[in-house]
Chains A and B, each alone.
Chain A
Protein backbone atom coordinates (compact mmCIF):
# COMPACT_ATOMS: atom_id res chain seq x y z
CA UNK A 1 0.00 0.00 0.00
CA UNK A 2 1.31 3.43 -0.94
CA UNK A 3 1.37 6.02 1.86
CA UNK A 4 1.57 9.71 1.08
CA UNK A 5 2.57 12.63 3.28
CA UNK A 6 2.40 16.39 2.94
CA UNK A 7 4.59 18.73 5.02
CA UNK A 8 3.11 22.22 5.35
CA UNK A 9 5.45 24.84 6.79
CA UNK A 10 6.49 28.29 5.58
CA UNK A 11 10.11 27.57 6.52
CA UNK A 12 11.98 25.52 3.90
CA UNK A 13 14.55 24.75 6.61
CA UNK A 14 11.92 23.34 8.95
CA UNK A 15 10.49 21.18 6.15
CA UNK A 16 13.96 19.74 5.63
CA UNK A 17 14.42 19.22 9.36
CA UNK A 18 11.14 17.33 9.46
CA UNK A 19 12.26 15.15 6.53
CA UNK A 20 15.59 14.48 8.25
CA UNK A 21 13.79 13.56 11.49
CA UNK A 22 11.47 11.28 9.54
CA UNK A 23 14.43 9.45 7.99
CA UNK A 24 16.05 9.08 11.40
CA UNK A 25 12.83 7.71 12.90
CA UNK A 26 12.67 4.99 10.25
CA UNK A 27 9.28 6.13 8.98
CA UNK A 28 8.94 5.69 5.22
CA UNK A 29 6.51 7.31 2.82
CA UNK A 30 6.06 6.60 -0.86
CA UNK A 31 5.16 10.17 -1.72
CA UNK A 32 6.19 13.34 0.14
CA UNK A 33 4.61 16.62 -0.92
CA UNK A 34 5.55 20.05 0.42
CA UNK A 35 3.62 23.31 0.76
CA UNK A 36 4.68 26.71 2.08
CA UNK A 37 1.31 27.69 3.57
CA UNK A 38 -2.26 26.51 3.97
CA UNK A 39 -3.45 27.91 0.66
CA UNK A 40 -0.73 26.17 -1.32
CA UNK A 41 -1.50 22.96 0.58
CA UNK A 42 -5.20 23.21 -0.30
CA UNK A 43 -4.42 23.68 -3.98
CA UNK A 44 -2.26 20.55 -3.96
CA UNK A 45 -4.80 18.57 -1.92
CA UNK A 46 -7.54 19.45 -4.40
CA UNK A 47 -5.43 17.80 -7.10
CA UNK A 48 -4.18 14.86 -5.03
CA UNK A 49 -5.28 14.05 -1.50
CA UNK A 50 -2.68 12.59 0.88
CA UNK A 51 -2.88 10.18 3.79
CA UNK A 52 -1.09 12.30 6.39
CA UNK A 53 -0.49 16.03 6.71
CA UNK A 54 2.18 17.45 9.04
CA UNK A 55 1.16 21.05 9.53
CA UNK A 56 2.75 24.12 11.10
CA UNK A 57 0.40 26.50 12.95
CA UNK A 58 1.71 29.99 12.22
CA UNK A 59 1.98 30.57 8.48
CA UNK A 60 1.27 33.48 6.15
CA UNK A 61 -1.78 33.58 3.82
CA UNK A 62 -3.53 30.62 5.45
CA UNK A 63 -2.46 29.33 8.86
CA UNK A 64 -2.64 25.79 10.19
CA UNK A 65 -5.91 26.26 12.05
CA UNK A 66 -7.62 27.52 8.90
CA UNK A 67 -6.14 24.69 6.85
CA UNK A 68 -7.52 22.07 9.28
CA UNK A 69 -10.97 23.67 8.99
CA UNK A 70 -10.83 23.66 5.16
CA UNK A 71 -9.50 20.10 4.89
CA UNK A 72 -12.28 18.83 7.13
CA UNK A 73 -14.82 20.18 4.60
CA UNK A 74 -13.26 18.15 1.76
CA UNK A 75 -14.85 14.76 1.03
CA UNK A 76 -11.69 13.65 -0.76
CA UNK A 77 -9.69 14.15 2.46
CA UNK A 78 -12.19 12.48 4.80
CA UNK A 79 -9.58 9.88 5.79
CA UNK A 80 -6.59 12.25 5.86
CA UNK A 81 -4.90 12.45 9.24
CA UNK A 82 -3.64 15.89 10.26
CA UNK A 83 -0.83 16.22 12.77
CA UNK A 84 0.07 19.71 13.92
CA UNK A 85 3.74 20.61 14.55
CA UNK A 86 4.38 23.70 16.68
CA UNK A 87 6.37 25.28 19.49
CA UNK A 88 3.04 26.19 21.13
CA UNK A 89 2.71 23.67 23.94
CA UNK A 90 -0.17 24.86 26.11
CA UNK A 91 -2.70 22.09 26.70
CA UNK A 92 -5.52 24.55 26.08
CA UNK A 93 -4.22 25.26 22.57
CA UNK A 94 -3.56 21.57 21.84
CA UNK A 95 -7.11 20.69 22.94
CA UNK A 96 -8.45 23.46 20.72
CA UNK A 97 -6.59 22.08 17.69
CA UNK A 98 -7.76 18.54 18.36
CA UNK A 99 -11.34 19.72 18.74
CA UNK A 100 -11.14 21.62 15.47
CA UNK A 101 -10.21 18.48 13.53
CA UNK A 102 -6.51 17.69 14.00
CA UNK A 103 -5.68 14.06 14.77
CA UNK A 104 -2.37 14.61 16.54
CA UNK A 105 0.04 17.20 17.85
CA UNK A 106 3.85 17.29 17.99
CA UNK A 107 5.58 20.03 19.97
CA UNK A 108 8.95 21.43 18.90
CA UNK A 109 11.67 20.57 19.78
CA UNK A 110 11.02 16.99 18.70
CA UNK A 111 13.08 13.82 18.51
CA UNK A 112 12.90 11.02 15.91
CA UNK A 113 11.38 8.85 18.66
CA UNK A 114 8.60 11.37 19.24
CA UNK A 115 7.81 11.44 15.50
CA UNK A 116 7.66 7.66 15.36
CA UNK A 117 5.41 7.55 18.41
CA UNK A 118 2.98 10.16 17.08
CA UNK A 119 2.84 9.11 13.42
CA UNK A 120 3.11 5.33 13.34
CA UNK A 121 -0.39 4.77 14.80
CA UNK A 122 -1.76 6.31 11.58
CA UNK A 123 0.25 4.16 9.19
CA UNK A 124 -1.97 1.08 9.29
Chain B
Protein backbone atom coordinates (compact mmCIF):
# COMPACT_ATOMS: atom_id res chain seq x y z
CA UNK B 1 0.00 0.00 0.00
CA UNK B 2 2.84 2.36 0.84
CA UNK B 3 4.41 1.68 -2.55
CA UNK B 4 1.27 3.10 -4.17
CA UNK B 5 1.83 6.50 -2.54
CA UNK B 6 3.91 8.88 -4.62
CA UNK B 7 5.91 10.53 -1.85
CA UNK B 8 8.10 12.55 -4.21
CA UNK B 9 5.03 14.31 -5.64
CA UNK B 10 3.55 14.86 -2.17
CA UNK B 11 6.86 16.26 -0.89
CA UNK B 12 7.19 18.75 -3.75
CA UNK B 13 3.53 19.80 -3.46
CA UNK B 14 3.81 20.26 0.33
CA UNK B 15 7.02 22.28 0.07
CA UNK B 16 5.57 24.51 -2.64
CA UNK B 17 2.41 25.32 -0.73
CA UNK B 18 4.39 26.24 2.41
CA UNK B 19 7.03 28.35 0.67
CA UNK B 20 4.56 30.12 -1.59
CA UNK B 21 1.77 30.67 0.96
CA UNK B 22 3.68 31.39 4.17
CA UNK B 23 7.13 32.53 3.11
CA UNK B 24 6.38 34.28 -0.17
CA UNK B 25 9.41 32.71 -1.84
CA UNK B 26 9.36 30.96 -5.17
CA UNK B 27 10.63 27.39 -4.97
CA UNK B 28 11.72 25.73 -8.20
CA UNK B 29 13.02 22.21 -8.53
CA UNK B 30 16.57 22.15 -9.80
CA UNK B 31 17.20 20.51 -13.16
CA UNK B 32 20.70 19.68 -12.01
CA UNK B 33 20.64 16.67 -9.65
CA UNK B 34 24.01 17.80 -8.27
CA UNK B 35 22.61 21.06 -6.93
CA UNK B 36 23.88 21.17 -3.40
CA UNK B 37 24.24 23.68 -0.68
CA UNK B 38 28.02 24.15 -0.58
CA UNK B 39 27.94 26.86 2.06
CA UNK B 40 30.25 26.09 4.98
CA UNK B 41 27.62 27.54 7.34
CA UNK B 42 24.48 25.45 7.04
CA UNK B 43 21.25 25.03 8.93
CA UNK B 44 19.33 21.76 9.13
CA UNK B 45 15.77 21.35 10.38
CA UNK B 46 14.30 17.89 10.97
CA UNK B 47 11.09 16.37 12.20
CA UNK B 48 10.47 12.69 12.83
CA UNK B 49 7.22 10.81 12.52
CA UNK B 50 5.88 7.43 13.52
CA UNK B 51 2.78 5.37 12.83
CA UNK B 52 2.17 2.92 10.01
CA UNK B 53 5.40 4.29 8.56
CA UNK B 54 8.24 5.96 10.43
CA UNK B 55 11.01 8.27 9.37
CA UNK B 56 12.07 11.87 9.11
CA UNK B 57 11.69 14.95 6.97
CA UNK B 58 14.71 17.27 6.78
CA UNK B 59 15.38 20.63 5.20
CA UNK B 60 18.89 22.00 4.84
CA UNK B 61 20.16 25.26 3.40
CA UNK B 62 22.82 27.88 3.96
CA UNK B 63 22.50 30.12 7.00
CA UNK B 64 22.08 33.07 4.64
CA UNK B 65 19.13 31.31 3.05
CA UNK B 66 17.77 30.52 6.54
CA UNK B 67 18.02 34.22 7.40
CA UNK B 68 16.04 35.17 4.28
CA UNK B 69 13.38 32.59 5.09
CA UNK B 70 13.03 34.09 8.59
CA UNK B 71 12.89 37.65 7.22
CA UNK B 72 10.13 36.71 4.79
CA UNK B 73 8.16 34.74 7.36
CA UNK B 74 8.27 37.61 9.83
CA UNK B 75 7.43 40.23 7.21
CA UNK B 76 10.65 42.21 7.75
CA UNK B 77 12.66 44.24 5.25
CA UNK B 78 15.67 42.46 3.75
CA UNK B 79 18.09 44.84 5.45
CA UNK B 80 16.60 44.23 8.90
CA UNK B 81 18.45 41.92 11.22
CA UNK B 82 17.10 38.68 12.64
CA UNK B 83 18.54 36.84 15.60
CA UNK B 84 19.88 33.28 15.43
CA UNK B 85 16.92 32.28 17.60
CA UNK B 86 14.44 33.72 15.08
CA UNK B 87 16.16 31.89 12.21
CA UNK B 88 16.14 28.71 14.28
CA UNK B 89 12.41 29.08 15.06
CA UNK B 90 11.57 29.92 11.46
CA UNK B 91 13.29 26.82 10.07
CA UNK B 92 11.59 24.71 12.74
CA UNK B 93 8.20 26.10 11.69
CA UNK B 94 8.96 25.47 7.99
CA UNK B 95 9.82 21.82 8.68
CA UNK B 96 6.74 21.48 10.88
CA UNK B 97 4.45 22.96 8.22
CA UNK B 98 5.89 20.99 5.28
CA UNK B 99 5.52 17.78 7.28
CA UNK B 100 2.03 18.84 8.44
CA UNK B 101 1.00 19.55 4.88
CA UNK B 102 2.36 16.19 3.70
CA UNK B 103 0.59 14.45 6.58
CA UNK B 104 -2.64 16.20 5.59
CA UNK B 105 -2.24 14.84 2.06
CA UNK B 106 -2.23 11.35 3.55
CA UNK B 107 -5.61 11.81 5.26
CA UNK B 108 -7.93 9.15 3.95
CA UNK B 109 -5.05 6.87 2.95
CA UNK B 110 -4.01 3.78 4.91
CA UNK B 111 -0.88 5.63 6.07
CA UNK B 112 -1.47 7.34 9.42
CA UNK B 113 1.36 9.06 11.24
CA UNK B 114 2.08 11.25 14.25
CA UNK B 115 4.69 14.01 14.11
CA UNK B 116 7.33 14.90 16.67
CA UNK B 117 8.46 18.40 17.59
CA UNK B 118 10.99 19.77 15.07
CA UNK B 119 14.67 20.16 15.88
CA UNK B 120 17.12 22.55 14.26
CA UNK B 121 20.91 22.55 14.23
CA UNK B 122 23.47 24.67 12.49
CA UNK B 123 27.03 23.91 11.53
CA UNK B 124 29.36 23.16 8.66
CA UNK B 125 28.08 21.32 5.57
CA UNK B 126 25.20 19.60 7.36
CA UNK B 127 23.45 16.79 5.54
CA UNK B 128 20.76 14.47 6.85
CA UNK B 129 21.90 10.86 7.09
CA UNK B 130 19.82 7.96 5.82
CA UNK B 131 19.12 4.97 8.02
CA UNK B 132 19.55 1.42 6.78
CA UNK B 133 16.48 -0.03 5.13
CA UNK B 134 14.85 3.34 4.60
CA UNK B 135 13.45 4.71 1.39
CA UNK B 136 14.51 8.20 0.54
CA UNK B 137 12.90 10.94 -1.52
CA UNK B 138 15.08 13.96 -2.05
CA UNK B 139 14.14 17.29 -3.60
CA UNK B 140 16.86 19.73 -4.67
CA UNK B 141 15.58 23.20 -5.39
CA UNK B 142 16.34 26.89 -5.57
CA UNK B 143 14.53 29.52 -3.52
CA UNK B 144 13.88 32.68 -5.48
CA UNK B 145 16.16 31.27 -8.18
CA UNK B 146 19.29 31.79 -6.14
CA UNK B 147 19.45 29.85 -2.88
CA UNK B 148 19.93 26.07 -2.97
CA UNK B 149 17.80 24.11 -0.56
CA UNK B 150 17.51 20.37 0.00
CA UNK B 151 14.33 18.74 1.23
CA UNK B 152 14.55 15.09 2.09
CA UNK B 153 11.92 12.59 3.18
CA UNK B 154 13.08 9.31 4.58
CA UNK B 155 10.62 6.56 5.52
CA UNK B 156 10.23 2.87 6.14
CA UNK B 157 7.48 0.49 7.13
CA UNK B 158 7.02 0.55 10.89
CA UNK B 159 8.21 -2.54 12.68
CA UNK B 160 5.45 -4.68 14.16
CA UNK B 161 5.31 -4.16 17.95
- Give the B-binding residues of A (Cβ under 8 A): 11-14, 16-17, 20, 23-24, 58, 86-91, 107-111
Contact = CB atoms under 8 A, between A and B. Distances in A.
Interface stretch (B31-39, B89-97, B124-132, B138-146): B89-97
A105 B151 CA distance: 28
Interface residues of B, number: 23
Per DSSP, are chain B's interface residues mostly helix, strand or loop, or mixed? helix
B103 A89 contact: yes
Interface string B96-137: 110111011001000000010100000000000000000000
Contact of A11 (B18, B70, B75, B93): B93
A24 B97 CA distance: 20
Contacts of B103: 87-89
A61 to B, nearest CB: 14
A58 B22 CA distance: 20
B86 interface: yes
